[in-house]
Homo-oligomer: A and B are copies of this chain.
Amino acid sequence: MKKFVAIAFVIGCLVDVQAQNQDSIFIKRIADEILMNGVAYDNLRILTKQIGARLSGSPQMVKAELWGAKALKDAGADSVWMQQCLVPHWVRGGKDEAAAWYTTGKIKDKKKLAVTALGNSVGSLKPMQATVVEVKSFDDLVKKKDQVKDKIVFYNYPFKSTFIRTDDAYSDAHAYRTNGPAEAARHGAKAVIVRSMTHTPGNDPHTGMTTYVDSLPQIPAAAIGLGDADWLSKQLQKTEVAVSLLTHGKFLPDTIGHNIIGELRGSEFPNQYIVVGGHLDSWDLAEGAHDDGAGIVQSIEVLRSFKALGYKPKRTIRFVFFANEENGGRGADKYLEDARAKKEQHLFALESDNGGFTPRGFKIKASALQKQKMWIWMSLLNDYGSYEISDGAGSDVQKLYDALGVPAGAFYPDSQRYFDVHHAKTDVFESVNKRELELGAINMAGLIYLVDKYGLPLSP
């Protein structure tokens, strides 16, 4: 990567200095506008405090959609519409509970565990009791496959602190939440508890989606806090431990959701589309402030600042609030379906879904030539905190890349604090810093401006 940085910087020095100066001046105007007159923080307060948690199918999600459409209109979109899709309607259904005890002990020795059912999991409906088998990995599960029948499998795979980018630790670990319940069911387990996907000291359980396999039984599954996971693991070194797990999750019939879309019509190439957005839904445990209220209000801020500065884009810029990212991705599926059906030419799609933290750069899925161009642009964003382009894209826009080859990406903020709050009750407005949020919007607006102005080379 470093060599690429070097080459990119050198090429960066050779491009038209005049254009760079103009761009530098315009990006500074964007920054001043957002830092002096920004409404991202106020919008986030409304979305989190007045609307709150907004899982697909919830009444709050309906409120959020109406609010989002109005916010895009207020920010100056030429047109705003709601793109309808069916979304899953999973409900937690009640209070998740768990307790542990030594099988040799007495009932009064039960210890409560901090627990939250995994998203999309089936409820136990009544307390499900079994002894616990701890596994450290999928390999370990296979080794112990003859011991797990009718037991509760406890995935205790660490969220590794030695990954500097915490999203790398998440990539490394999250299969235990996503696929762990199905894999345990394959070997006859009756339920699963998973160590939460976080390195943050404390005991908050972090939820997130799990995915069953059609041919295998659907078993209850929940995440437990790190404190309790460590405690449980320690007990299991000494003795047999049983756990009682009570969850209530279930699917109601699919319901209607919407992508909320606002458009700034392009003046020169109106049929070339640039997408910038986030996802409007959140988990149910908190306010979805970083995940992904931040991405929503930053996208609005890109639009608002362009309008405030009188910027008339060459291409059509679409501000898209995707539905149902957290437990289905149906909003992104619908957006892709329509884009494909209408043969829309998408030039670039950017998502902000890594929290409202101080900027580091971007993740990009694109051809080498396209990435190279963006590396050059980074020198225009250095002053605002963006220094790097790594591989990746927001999960909603990545579908455009995978299916249609549309260059796609993600705003990449500093990752150190994300898993303090990710999918946990701590993801509230107060965990977002106003300036950090605004700087994210500045970097997003800067990149969208550059893509709009200069376009991107055709692949490769």
Query: What is A's interface to B at a CB cutoff of 8 Å?
Result: 2-3, 5-6, 9-10, 12-13, 31-32, 35-36, 161-162, 164, 166, 199-201, 358, 360, 379, 382-385, 387-388, 414, 416-417, 420, 433-436, 439
Quick check: B9 and A13 within 8 Å, CB to CB?
no
Quick check: A164 and B417 within 8 Å, CB to CB?
no
Partner among B2, B12, B32, B388 whose Cβ is within 8 Å of the Cβ of A162? B32
A31 to B165, CA, bound (A): 12
Quick check: B387 and A416 within 8 Å, CB to CB?
no
Partner among B13, B162, B383 whose Cβ is within 8 Å of the Cβ of A36? B162
A392 to B417, CA, bound (A): 28
Quick check: B420 and A164 within 8 Å, CB to CB?
no
* A166: chain B residues within 8 A (beta carbon): 435
Quick check: A435 and B414 within 8 Å, CB to CB?
no
Q: 18 new A-B pairs (CB below 8 Å) besides A382-B387, A387-B388?
A: A2-B9, A2-B379, A2-B382, A5-B9, A5-B379, A6-B6, A164-B383, A164-B384, A164-B385, A199-B435, A200-B434, A201-B434, A385-B414, A416-B433, A416-B435, A416-B439, A417-B435, A417-B436
A162 to B161, CA, bound (A): 35
* A435: chain B residues within 8 A (beta carbon): 161, 166, 199, 416-417
> Nearest 6 CB-CB pairs, A to B?
A6-B9, A387-B387, A416-B435, A35-B161, A358-B414, A32-B162
A164 and B439 in contact, given A387-B387, A416-B433 (Cβ under 8 angstroms):
yes
Q: List 27 A-B contacts (CB under 8 A).
A: A2-B12, A3-B13, A5-B9, A5-B382, A6-B9, A6-B10, A6-B13, A9-B9, A9-B10, A31-B162, A31-B164, A35-B162, A161-B435, A164-B384, A164-B439, A166-B435, A199-B435, A200-B434, A201-B434, A358-B414, A358-B416, A360-B385, A382-B387, A385-B414, A387-B388, A416-B433, A416-B439
Residue of B with least CB distance to A14: B6
* A379: chain B residues within 8 A (beta carbon): 2, 5
* A201: chain B residues within 8 A (beta carbon): 434
Chain B: minimal CB distance from A179 (Å): 27
A12 to B35, CA, bound (A): 35
A366 to B263, CA, bound (A): 51
Residue of B with least CB distance to A360: B385
* A416: chain B residues within 8 A (beta carbon): 358, 433, 435-436, 439
A439 to B161, CA, bound (A): 11
A5 to B5, CA, bound (A): 10
A436 to B416, CA, bound (A): 6
Chain B: minimal CB distance from A398 (Å): 24
A35 to B162, CA, bound (A): 6
* A388: chain B residues within 8 A (beta carbon): 382, 387
Chain B: minimal CB distance from A53 (Å): 24
Chain B: minimal CB distance from A303 (Å): 21
* A164: chain B residues within 8 A (beta carbon): 31, 383-385, 439
A414 to B12, CA, bound (A): 25
